[in-house]
Amino acid sequence: MAQKASFLMNDFFEDIPGQKRVKQILSNFNSISKIPHALLFSGIEGIGKEFFAIRFAQSVNSKISSVEKNEKILNQISNLAEPYVKYIIPLPRGRNETESDGSTDNLSSDEIELLQEELNKKIANPFYNFTLPKANTIKINSIREIKKFLSMDFSDISFRFVIINSAHLMNEAAQNALLKNLEEPPEGVIFILITTYPERLRETIRSRCWTINFDPLSDEDLANVLIKYFDLDKQSAESVAPFSGGSVSAALKLIELDINNLREKTISILRYSFGRKYHSAFEELKSLFADQNTENIQMIIKMILTWLNDLQKHKHDIHTYFFKEHKETLEKFNSKFPDVELENLVFILDRLSSYTKNNVNINLLTANIVFELSALPTTAKK
């Protein structure tokens, strides 16, 4: 089902970094004067999916009217306020909560206060990652509240939106309840489901949505987001961006872990491994994985791969290094091993990184990384 609309979208998306293809898709809905009644925004965390949902809601409700009225509507949507937006997120379970209770009825005063604080941060910063302790599920109580939202008569509002963040966290009962709403949506209501794991949603839900896949941000766009929305200085933002996989969330995690320390650790691991000082290299790696966090493993492998890429740049006289503070390591390695083969090591490290998605033995994985690095100097072309 599609719904008619007449509005200009481009202006609403201009200041959102990246996602050129997504902007075109959403803008095309205007050119054909129709909007799907349900959209599925899919992609990794921290790339602006929620930002687009808010701006899209603003754009379809922007119409020729008094400036004062139009500004009021846009502000209401920015504030994720009903009756324009029903915003659904994972919530903790309240004390003695039953399915007949409202989604926040049984939460403590402290939980309500924290919820409001997090909501205010999200309103102020569309790239903020909304988190609440023990909020691991989108409750059926929250989905049932959609029915009440839909039943209210607001004929003076062109379009109302139901935005479900982290939609993959709906349990089976919640997904079943949502499906009933998607099957016969009222005129003028648009659902936007936002998820990093669309495969966790029932096929019957996905089939009723127009899926839009979001791309990771470029290093430049990511750095600009960190500067504008998180007050990071330019040097720090540009330093962390190449290791973040296009995700604001990953970049912030790196900053929390101290990227400068990770960079120094990477150089130490490389030096020990190339020098066949296995115990020292293993201990350096172990110190990073003490909490058994597989994200840290992926990060250090990414750092190693970036150093290898710098090695190739140095060999071809390209001077834009990410490890520019350690240029001497590139010079010494290429001078000593000018004909070394990197392709196989890059492939193996990529494969080792993929293993972190499974229940992998951290010590075994660490040993493999050190072993493969120590073998690199012996892979010179013959």
Domain boundary pick from 215, 230, 250: 215
What b/e sequence results for 336-375 when a residue is b if at least 16 CB atoms lie within 10 Å of its CB, and e otherwise?
Answer: ebeebeeeebeebbeebbebbeeeeebeebbebbbebbbe
Contact 322, 359 (CB under 8 A): no
* pLDDT above 90 coverage of the chain, percent: 52
Same domain (yes/no): 105, 38: yes
Q: For residue 229, tell me if it sits in a domain.
A: no
Mean pLDDT of 164-174: 94
Task: Give the best-scoring range by mean pLDDT among 27-41, 101-115, 212-226, 348-362.
Answer: 212-226
**pTM for the whole structure:** 0.80
Q: For residue 6, tell me if it sits in a domain.
A: yes
Nearest to 84 by CA among 188, 209, 194: 188
Q: For residue 246, tell me if it sits in a domain.
A: no
Listed in sequence order, the residues at least 6 apart from 87 whose beta carbon sits closer than 8 Å to its beta carbon are: 80, 163, 165
Nearest to 85 by CA among 61, 118, 105: 61
Range of the domain at 294: 258-378
Domain count, the chain: 2
Which tens digit of pLDDT belongs to each residue from 172-224? 999 999 998 998 888 889 999 999 999 999 999 999 999 999 999 999 999 99
Q: Is the pLDDT of residue 120 over 90?
A: yes
Same domain (yes/no): 262, 210: no
Same domain (yes/no): 20, 155: yes
Contact 253, 231 (CB under 8 A): no
Q: What confidence score (pLDDT) does residue 43 get?
A: 95
